[in-house]
Amino acid sequence: MSNSPVKGNAYTLGSIEQGEPCCDPIPHFSINNLAVSYHNETVLSNVSLEVYKGCITALIGPSGCGKSSFLTALNRLSDMVAGAEVSGDIVFEGENIFDASIDVRALRTKVGMIFQKPNPFPLSIRKNLELPLKEHGVRNKSEIESKIFDALQSVGLWDEVKDRLQSSALSLSGGQQQRLCIARALILEPSVLLMDEPCSALDPISSGIVEEMIQRLAGRYTIIIVTHNLAQARRIANYAAFFWMKERVGKLIEFGQCRPLFESPQHSLTAAYVSGEMG
Amino acid sequence: MIDRSFTIFIWLMAGMVLFAFGWLISDVVIQGASKLSWQFLTDEPTRSGREGGIYPIIVSTLLILMIALVVVLPLGLGSAIWLAEFSRKSSRRVRTTRLILDVLAGVPSIVFGLFGYAFFCGFLELGFSILSGGLTLACMMLPILIRTTEAGLSAVPQDWRKAGAALGMSRTTLLWQVLLPYASPAITAGLLLSIGRATAETAALIFTSGYVDRMPESLNDSGRALAVHIYDLSMNVVGGDKASYGSALVLIVMVVIINLSASTLSEFWLEKKVSRLK
């Protein structure tokens, strides 16, 4: 861990210098002046921040303030959305992901994504994990087997499903499905996981299991998680970014270490939101 | 009380439909069964079809249908996939295409017949032939198959497309492994619907494949389809009723066999890949 204060992000209102850095603040994503618009209507503008390697960064804020739009820009899933336009720079592992030379499919194997609603394919549990592997050129049977084992182990699902890998993924419970989806992303050995409210469609117990698992994955992976559950953000995140809508455009209001952001926010909006007075 | 009378009403309606259907089938079976024999299936028709069999007509029907399917399957599935997966849904081009297809699906078959006569028989100089008939039927089947397939693909949850994209999978893989298998019941239904329409077709075929009841020697020969044969026997041939019923029975059995094999094949190729719990 480094003791030197992290460079302040001039463009955010909060200060990142408060407190000790909670993990090595090596930027994994450097986002500069990002804006997203749908059909020429800006929904997010002027977002600049750095996402640190191996840390959990929570994106908080009310619905509709552009958190999910921000997230989908990071793996360029925004390309899929009709009418979506993204401007600004996102530098990931030294390359701007909007460069023409970027292989988007390769980018998405490095930056995995988990959605709000578990979305396993309507195939067997095994096939769900096999399909992305085969798609990216892994053909060796024993290699596939061991990767499936590793992926299911790391989401704590192996013991639950090892006897029924052939059965449908849709026969799993919601929490199990979500963990399978995380395993499916992990099997491609990404370095980043983007999570869009991964627990919000789950019951409290499944949600707890998934949350615990996310905490275990931190360190090995850089995790960016959108959550509406402030208590959850506070429990698991190292860094937090607070988004808010100003004049119908989402803005990043404050970014910093999670604890200071919650305990001594620099911006009055943040203070009002985290205390529950607003939002 | 309202529930009760409504239930009775619904049962009554369903019962009437079943009754009408049952009557139709049993009429054809009872009247046609006596005509049905191995000879009927393997002989050439004599005395304008009053006697003899329908062998050349079965062959012509199958040939016409085969040509239509060979044309329709790749074109139809391809266009449907383009419409549902690879085009911008809101663009003018796509909306226009859809509109045209919807109109075409509702165009009376006689109009297709006229078009086939002018275009395939006349302009392309294919004459009255099995080829012209098959191609005309293909034009008729295309809009139905495209629209049902497209609807089937569009009904597949968007979640899986996002999941696939987020895993860096190509759209082609996703299409073959997930989307098409999941949509296959709808695609099969569309296919069966269009096959049904094609085998029942009379108007369009009289114009294009003609009504020569001899065994066709090539695809350029005229050939009489079963539906045309039934029409001819019942309308133009005095004393042709028995043979007409026999042919109708054969047509029904043929459609059932084709339907069964189409659903079995689609089950075998596509459907079994996916599970549909949930």
Interface test with B, best of A79, A97, A109, A119 (most B CBs within 10 A): A119
Q: Per-residue pLDDT tens for A166-199?
A: 999 999 999 999 999 999 999 999 999 999 999 9
Q: What is the DSSP letter of A247?
A: T
Query: In 3D, which of A239, A139, A222, A235 has the Cα closest to residue A185?
Result: A222
pLDDT of A223 reads: 94
Cβ contacts of A104 on chain B, cutoff 8 Å: 168
> In this complex, how many residue pairs, one in chain A and one in chain B, have their CB atoms less than 8 Å apart?
84
Question: Which residue in A has a C-alpha nearest to residue B180's C-alpha?
Answer: A122
pTM: 0.82
The CA dihedral of B40, B43, B47, B50, to the nearest 10 degrees, is 10
Q: What's the gap between Cα B51 and its chain centre? A: 29
Distance in Å, alpha carbon of B232 to nearest chain A alpha carbon: 50
Cβ contacts of B275 on chain A, cutoff 8 Å: 122-124, 168-171
Distance in Å, alpha carbon of A194 to nearest chain B alpha carbon: 10
Alpha-helical runs (H) found in B155-202: 158-166, 171-174, 180-199
Element (H, E) at B140: helix B130-154
Query: In 3D, which of A149, A148, A113 has the Cα closest to residue A127?
Result: A148
Among partner residues A132, A171, A181, which is closest to B169 by beta-carbon distance?
A132
A173–chain B Cβ distance below 8 A for any pair: no
Inter-chain CB proximity B168 and A82 less than 8 Å: no
Among partner residues B168, B177, B274, which is closest to A106 by beta-carbon distance?
B168
CB-based contact A26:A52 (threshold 8 Å): yes
Distance in Å, alpha carbon of B25 to nearest chain A alpha carbon: 39
Query: pLDDT (tens digit, 0 to 9) for every residue of chain B, 278 residues total?
Result: 889 999 999 999 999 999 999 999 999 998 888 888 888 887 888 877 787 878 888 889 999 999 999 999 999 999 999 999 888 877 888 899 999 999 998 899 899 999 999 999 989 888 898 999 999 999 999 999 999 999 999 999 999 999 999 999 999 999 999 999 889 888 888 888 888 888 888 888 888 888 888 888 888 888 888 889 889 888 888 888 888 898 899 999 998 998 888 888 888 877 677 766 54
pLDDT of A77 reads: 92
Query: In 3D, which of A129, A126, A131 has the Cα closest to residue A167?
Result: A126
Q: Report the distance separating Cα A40 and Cα B78, nearest Å.
A: 32
Interface test with A, best of B94, B156, B167 (most A CBs within 10 A): B167
Distance in Å, alpha carbon of A170 to nearest chain B alpha carbon: 6
B155–chain A Cβ distance below 8 A for any pair: no
- Look at the alpha carbons of B123, B128, B131, B135 in this order and tell me if their dihedral is positive or negative: positive
SS3 content of chain B, % helix, strand, coil (to 5): 75, 0, 20
Inter-chain CB proximity B90 and A82 less than 8 Å: yes
A28–chain B Cβ distance below 8 A for any pair: no
Which parts of chain A are beta strand (E)? Answer: 27-38, 41-52, 56-60, 84-92, 95-96, 111-114, 192-196, 222-226, 239-246, 249-257
pLDDT of A23 reads: 64
pLDDT of B38 reads: 84
Query: In 3D, which of A83, A95, A102 has the Cα closest to residue A43?
Result: A83
Inter-chain CB proximity B277 and A171 less than 8 Å: yes
Q: What is the DSSP letter of A124?
A: B
With a CB cutoff of 8 Å and minimum separation 6, the contacts of B235 are none
With a CB cutoff of 8 Å and minimum separation 6, the contacts of B266 are B184, B185, B187, B188, B191
Cβ contacts of B88 on chain A, cutoff 8 Å: 82
Residue stretches of chain A with pLDDT short of 70? 1-24, 279
Interface of A with B in 72-91 (CB under 8 A): 75, 77, 80, 82
CB-based contact B136:B108 (threshold 8 Å): no
pLDDT of B125 reads: 87
β pairing state of B45-46 and B51-52: antiparallel
Cβ contacts of A107 on chain B, cutoff 8 Å: 168
Interface of A with B in 112-151 (CB under 8 A): 112-113, 115, 117, 119-124, 131-132, 135-136
Q: Report the distance separating Cα A65 and Cα A245, nearest Å.
A: 5
